[in-house]
Structure 1
């Protein structure tokens, strides 16, 4: 049990560091960047770390034998958090587009709205700070809890059905 908690703590710390480094790789508003986004290389380990976090959460939930009610409430709360955080992130991106637009206008006297849309859509270096920030870090954590709770609830339901069928 201590191992799962320590693994979860260390994984969360590494994820936080990766988010921080990726955030720092954002091009300043008004600058033109080269091709590519090096933050994607830094962020590549996030998928295996996410899986490790889900497994660690699942192990903790199994050891503590959390109730079905707790699982359902946890799933609902993490889902609500994810929705609110996603909405906040969309608003933040819209505000950041305005900051970039103002910086380009100040530097060049005009703004190409198509170019602005291109550099703020997808996985470009101009919006790393929108994908790797405190909000998205907590979204990452919440989503790992959400998935672990869903699997835990599904597994406990399967075991109940399996036990009931074996008693017949």
Structure 2
């Protein structure tokens, strides 16, 4: 059990480091970027790490045999956290678009609003700091807990249903 907790801790620190490095790969507002976004490599690493973290959380929940009510409360709380964090992230992105707009106004004296929208939509190098920050790191962890709790609740429900059939 200690190895699962330690592995979860170390893996989470590794994910935090990936988030930090990705955050730092954002171009300064008002500058033009090169071709491509090197953070896409990090995104490719995050998917298997996410699955691994979910498996570790699920293993920890299984060993501690948490109650069904704790699982439901945990699912609700993590879901609420994800909604609030998502809303915060949307507001943060809107504010960051204004920062970029102001930087271009200062540099060029004019701004193409469609260009600002284009460079801040999708996974572009201009918004790496919006996708990889402390808030999104905690969203990543919360979502892994949410999924692990849902699987744990599903498995415990299936096991109870299977025991009644026998």
How far does residue 42 in structure 1 lie from its aligned partner after superposition? Answer: 2.4
Is the contact made by 1:18 and 1:42 (CA closer than 8 Å) also made in structure 2?
yes
How far does residue 109 in structure 1 lie from its aligned partner after superposition? Answer: 0.5
Matched, 1:85 2:85: yes
Is the contact made by 1:120 and 1:127 (CA closer than 8 Å) also made in structure 2?
yes
The RMSD of aligned alpha carbons is: 0.5
How far does residue 86 in structure 1 lie from its aligned partner after superposition? Answer: 0.0
Matched, 1:11 2:11: yes
How far does residue 39 in structure 1 lie from its aligned partner after superposition? Answer: 1.1
Normalising by the residue count of structure 2, what TM-score does the alignment of the two structures yield?
0.99
Unaligned runs of 5+ in 2: none
C-alpha distance in 2, partners of 1:44/1:11? 15
Normalising by the residue count of structure 1, what TM-score does the alignment of the two structures yield?
0.98
* Structure 2 equivalent of residue 30 of structure 1: 30
How far does residue 3 in structure 1 lie from its aligned partner after superposition? Answer: 1.2
Matched, 1:123 2:123: yes
**Following superposition, which runs of at least 4 residues in structure 1 exceed 4 angstroms of deviation?**
none
Tell me the number of residue pairs that the alignment of Structure 1 and Structure 2 aligns: 166
Unaligned runs of 5+ in 1: none
* Structure 1 equivalent of residue 94 of structure 2: 94
